[in-house]
């Protein structure tokens, strides 16, 4: 049979004020029926631009050459997407090819129910009544695993979790039974357990419906879990293409090798962790010999954080009876899926959320019922690195002004200009040229913005740094550099850190100890070797089995283990 899509010598350039920029250069790819082709590469490699061309979603500033021949599901007709008019493109989208976008919250309209949005897509292509379209919407929600679809078809997007919203987006893409689905980073912002569910759903679509999938991702574990073939892109070109097992077992292109080497693996950082523990213990012993005692930076005892209910409803307990401590110079990794309470704990330590019960001492200051006036002087000793630096930077301030802001607020400098020398030192410490201080946030890449965010977090030389998912949205190669930089800075400045993440391999790389949260409770705590090599709690075992690894053979075995854990009542967390 004909391929579902055949891309031949595709070239795409964008018109800019500085001249034409070539994003894709001579790419040729084919996708067959029921096949998953993964296109991988770092940001700017051209993978998303190539995928959007299949749906004709490029802006008017794009100039396209070559051919993108799309075959309909029945195999009776084909069309070159590059030459189609806007009206012809509307007929092709949804029926022949659909797209699953990276961020479901922005793909779904917040003012309409999900059922209405799915039915709208059906009625745009088929003459059905509203009731008939709604029945089909309910059926497709059932197929993608949304519980109680008859009720939830009337829910709004904000009433679904992140993983359920992604299922709704997949349902919208699948409802007209297209031959090809383009999935652009469909699991990037999801927890490993939810990610495993979405990958299983995509695999079922391929097997049961014969749907071909073009998967755009930078997560090599996801590629190993789902892809049949892999195309590696770098600077607009395909540098390597092979079936998944061959590519992972014997990569040929230097860039592919570099990409695979950058993937963090559990156990990879144990030697570094041992060295850091030895250095920290030596420092503690040295200070003890000098008569100085190091108090823990953070001590939580039976900590409770509860959000009050509204309109007479019962409050929600986000953190329930949690106890842990962070020593000076120590990195504690806090892991768990969305809703486990890990970000709430981080915000409570920073004084951004109120602790309501138990005890939480931060830098020897009690946070339960604390006075903002008394706590304010301690804020200079606590640094924050947020998940999305693009959202945490003021777009109207230059990078230098943003990094200088904590120094000005806490009286360490009279103005951003007065702080510029210190800012330049900080930028160089995070391996950014000091000239980048004159740029605005949108002029930096994701990895560069995260480095600038690290510089801002360290501006006041804090005793404690809270890093909330600082690498979750970064490419693996950029993530590897940011993590390496974090470890170097932590060794150099000696700050304690709470590192919040849902990626166990990343946490294992950096943390001295790991704490696992589940539904607001601490279910396991210990070193990486204790928690990850010999997990005691069923939830920790399920988290580990859900984490995809960059090896198709090993990943297939891990899928079997995860299925057994999920099917065993005695091994599922209560």
Residue by residue, pLDDT tens for the chain (574 residues) are 789 999 999 999 988 777 888 889 999 999 998 899 999 988 778 888 899 899 998 888 889 999 999 998 777 888 899 998 888 888 888 888 999 887 787 889 999 999 999 999 899 888 889 999 999 999 999 988 888 999 999 999 988 877 788 889 989 988 888 889 999 888 876 778 888 888 888 888 888 888 899 999 888 888 999 999 999 999 999 999 999 999 999 999 999 998 888 888 887 666 555 555 565 566 556 555 555 456 899 999 999 999 887 777 788 888 999 999 999 888 999 998 877 888 899 999 999 899 999 999 999 999 998 888 899 889 999 999 887 777 788 999 999 999 999 999 999 899 999 999 999 999 988 888 889 999 998 888 777 888 899 899 889 989 999 998 887 767 777 778 788 888 888 877 888 999 998 788 888 888 889 999 998 999 999 988 889 888 999 888 888 888 888 889 888 888 888 888 777 655 555 4
CA separation for the pair 463, 461 (Å, rounded) = 7
Token pair recorded at residue 27: 């790419």
pTM: 0.79
Q: What are phi and psi of 519, to 5 degrees?
A: 50, 45
CA separation for the pair 77, 145 (Å, rounded) = 32
- Closest to 476 in 3D by CA, of 227, 197, 237, 217: 217
In the sheet with 316-326, reading across from the earlier edge strand, the strands are: 316-326, 298-307, 357-362, 365-366
Strand-strand pairing, 513-518 and 521-526: antiparallel
DSSP-based three-state secondary structure for 478: helix
H helices present in 210-269, as ranges: 220-226, 244-249, 254-261
DSSP β-bridge partners for residue 292: none
Tell me the C-alpha to C-alpha distance, in Å, between residue 518 and each of 304, 318, 320, 337, 547.
Answer: 14, 10, 10, 7, 16
CA separation for the pair 516, 160 (Å, rounded) = 24
3-state helix, strand, coil in the chain (%, to 5): 45, 25, 35
The greatest distance separating any two alpha carbons of the chain, rounded to the nearest whole angstrom, comes to: 84
Token pair recorded at residue 267: 């156990």
CA separation for the pair 115, 159 (Å, rounded) = 13
Count Cα neighbours of 486 within 13 Å in the Cβ-side half-sphere: 31
Token pair recorded at residue 245: 């097992």
Q: What angle do CA 121, 122, 123 make, to 5 degrees?
A: 95
Whether the CA torsion 487, 403, 348, 299 is positive or negative: it is positive
pLDDT at 293: 53
pLDDT at 76: 82
Q: What angle do CA 494, 499, 503 make, to 5 degrees?
A: 135
Query: What secondary structure does DSSP assign to 524-553, as a single string?
Result: EEE-HIIIIIS--SHHHHHHHHHS--S-HH
CA separation for the pair 271, 487 (Å, rounded) = 13
- Closest to 543 in 3D by CA, of 511, 510, 509, 517: 517
Q: Give all domains of the chain, ordered by start, each with its CATH number.
A: 36-45+85-261 (3.40.50.300), 270-394+463-532 (3.40.50.300), 537-574 (no CATH)
DSSP β-bridge partners for residue 298: 326, 362
pLDDT at 574: 42
DSSP-based three-state secondary structure for 234: strand
Judging by beta carbons within 10 Å of its beta carbon (0-12, 13-18, 19+), is residue 397 exposed, middle or buried? middle
Tell me the C-alpha to C-alpha distance, in Å, between residue 17 and each of 3, 120, 416, 442.
Answer: 38, 38, 31, 16
Query: From the CB of residue 435, how many other CB atoms can be counted at a distance below 10 Å?
Result: 10
Place of tokens 């210990």: 526
Residues in the chain: 574
Strand-strand pairing, 229-234 and 237-243: antiparallel
pLDDT at 477: 77
Phi-psi region of 44 (alpha: psi -120 to 50; beta: other; left: phi over 0): left
Question: Which DSSP category does 4 fall into?
Answer: S
pLDDT at 277: 57
Query: From the CB of residue 82, how many other CB atoms can be counted at a distance below 10 Å?
Result: 17
Token pair recorded at residue 281: 């213990």
Tell me the C-alpha to C-alpha distance, in Å, between residue 544 and each of 5, 218, 258, 265, 537.
Answer: 36, 20, 25, 12, 11
Burial profile 357-369: b = 16 or more Cβ within 10 angstroms, e = fewer: ebebbbbeeebbe
CA separation for the pair 275, 446 (Å, rounded) = 30
CA separation for the pair 37, 544 (Å, rounded) = 26
- Closest to 91 in 3D by CA, of 55, 130, 117: 55
Name the strand (E) or helix (H) holding 321.
strand 316-326
Token pair recorded at residue 153: 């078809």
């Amino acid at each position: 049979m004909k391929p579902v899509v055949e891309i031949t010598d595709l070239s795409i350039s964008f018109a800019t004020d500085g001249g034409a920029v070539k994003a894709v250069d001579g790419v040729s790819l084919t996708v067959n029926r029921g096949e998953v082709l993964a296109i991988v590469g770092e940001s700017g490699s051209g993978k998303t631009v190539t995928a959007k061309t299949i749906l004709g979603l490029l802006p008017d500033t794009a100039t396209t050459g070559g051919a993108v021949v799309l075959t309909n599901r029945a195999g009776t007709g084909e069309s070159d997407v590059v030459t189609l008019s806007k009206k012809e493109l509307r007929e092709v989208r949804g029926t022949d090819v659909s797209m699953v976008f990276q961020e479901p919250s922005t793909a779904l309209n917040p003012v309409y129910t999900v059922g209405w949005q799915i039915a709208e897509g059906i009625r745009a292509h088929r003459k059905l009544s509203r009731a008939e379209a709604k029945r089909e919407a309910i059926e497709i929600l059932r197929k993608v695993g949304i519980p109680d679809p008859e009720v939830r078809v009337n829910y709004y997007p904000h009433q679904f979790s992140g993983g359920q919203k992604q299922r709704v987006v997949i349902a919208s893409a699948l409802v007209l039974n297209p031959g090809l689905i383009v999935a652009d980073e469909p699991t990037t912002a999801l927890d490993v357990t939810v990610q495993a569910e979405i990958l299983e759903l995509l695999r079922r679509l391929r097997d049961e419906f014969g749907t071909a999938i073009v998967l755009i991702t930078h997560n090599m574990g996801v590629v190993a879990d789902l892809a049949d073939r892999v195309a590696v892109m770098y600077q607009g070109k395909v540098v390597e293409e092979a079936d998944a097992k061959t590519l992972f077992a014997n990569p040929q292109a230097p860039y592919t090798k570099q990409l695979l080497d950058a993937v963090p693996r559990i156990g990879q950082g144990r030697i570094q962790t041992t060295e850091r523990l030895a250095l920290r213990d030596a420092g503690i012993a040295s200070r003890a010999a000098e008569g100085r005692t190091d108090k823990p930076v953070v001590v939580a005892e039976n900590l409770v954080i509860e959000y009050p209910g509204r309109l007479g409803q019962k409050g929600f307990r986000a953190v329930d009876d949690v106890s842990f401590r962070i020593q000076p110079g120590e990195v504690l990794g806090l892991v768990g899926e969305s809703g486990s309470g890990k970000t709430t704990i981080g915000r409570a330590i920073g004084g951004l959320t109120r602790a309501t019960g138990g005890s939480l001492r931060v830098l020897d200051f009690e946070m339960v019922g604390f006075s903002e006036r008394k706590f304010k002087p301690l804020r200079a000793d606590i640094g924050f690195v947020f998940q999305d630096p693009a959202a945490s930077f003021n777009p109207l301030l230059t990078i230098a002004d943003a990094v200088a802001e904590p120094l000005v607020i806490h009286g360490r400098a009279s103005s951003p200009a007065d702080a510029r020398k210190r800012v330049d030192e900080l930028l160089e410490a995070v391996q950014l040229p000091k000239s980048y201080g004159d740029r605005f946030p949108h002029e930096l890449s994701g990895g560069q913005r995260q480095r600038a965010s690290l510089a801002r977090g360290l501006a006041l030389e804090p005793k404690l740094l809270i890093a909330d998912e600082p690498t979750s949205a970064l490419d693996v190669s950029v993530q590897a550099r940011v993590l390496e930089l974090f470890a170097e800075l932590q060794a150099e400045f000696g700050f304690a850190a709470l590192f919040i993440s849902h990626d166990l391999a990343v946490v294992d790389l950096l943390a001295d100890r790991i704490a696992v949260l589940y539904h607001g409770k601490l279910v396991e705590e210990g070193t990486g070797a204790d928690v990850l090599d010999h997990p005691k709690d069923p939830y920790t075992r399920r988290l580990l089995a859900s984490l995809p690894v960059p090896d198709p053979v090993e990943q297939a075995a891990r899928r079997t283990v995860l299925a057994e854990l999920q099917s065993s009542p005695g091994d599922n967390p209560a």
